[in-house]
Amino acid sequence: VMEMEQVYRKETESASRRREQPRRERAPKQGREPYGERRERQHDHAAEAEAAKEQFDYSEELAKNTPCAVFLSEMLEKMNVPAPVLAAQTENGLRLCIDAETMGLLIGRRGETLDALQYLVSLVANRNRKEEGYMRVTLDTEGYRSRREETLRRLARRNATRVRQTGRPVSMEPM
């Protein structure tokens, strides 16, 4: 019992000493901004969406003539998300862009809703295409795909640096 009292007394004394000591300012990690500056640098999603639109030649005319874009427009109406659908033909297939203000609802958690919509649209697009071959359909809203790709690239670089420094493997979530 005496030993336990001594251990308890030592622990409380060291805890009170730690509380009395002034807190040290932590230096920001190399290559990282201090927290406040990071928060100030907010992304302008509208500007990124415009940049994504300029990258591809989107048109409403192509969307009106494409069955999968018409299907997507009807689905959005049934979801009570009225939004114009734009389409662009690329070398990889067809890109559809939803120009909506309620992009959070359309994207979902980590893009799950957007991926589900893309899957359904892809099924409609490739329903009767046995002779022409498979057509890849990519669905995007407000430049989400390019932002997510950049986020994943930063995460991969950060994890690669961590692996080099520690020499231990890093597991990542499924993507």
pLDDT of residue 40: 42
pLDDT of residue 155: 93
Beta-bridged to residue 93, according to DSSP, are 90, 136
Length of the chain: 175
pTM confidence score: 0.61
- For the chain, what percentages of helix, strand and coil (3-state, to nearest 5) are there? 55, 10, 35
Q: Encode the chain (175 residues) as per-residue pLDDT tens digits.
A: 677 777 777 777 766 666 665 555 555 555 555 554 444 444 555 555 455 445 777 777 777 888 888 999 999 888 888 888 888 888 888 899 888 777 788 888 888 888 999 999 999 988 887 777 888 999 888 888 888 889 999 999 999 999 999 999 888 887 6
- Rounded to 10°, the helix 144-166/45-55 angle is 100
Which of these, 143, 110, 105, 139, lies nearest to 122 by C-alpha position?
139
> What is the three-class DSSP state of 138?
strand
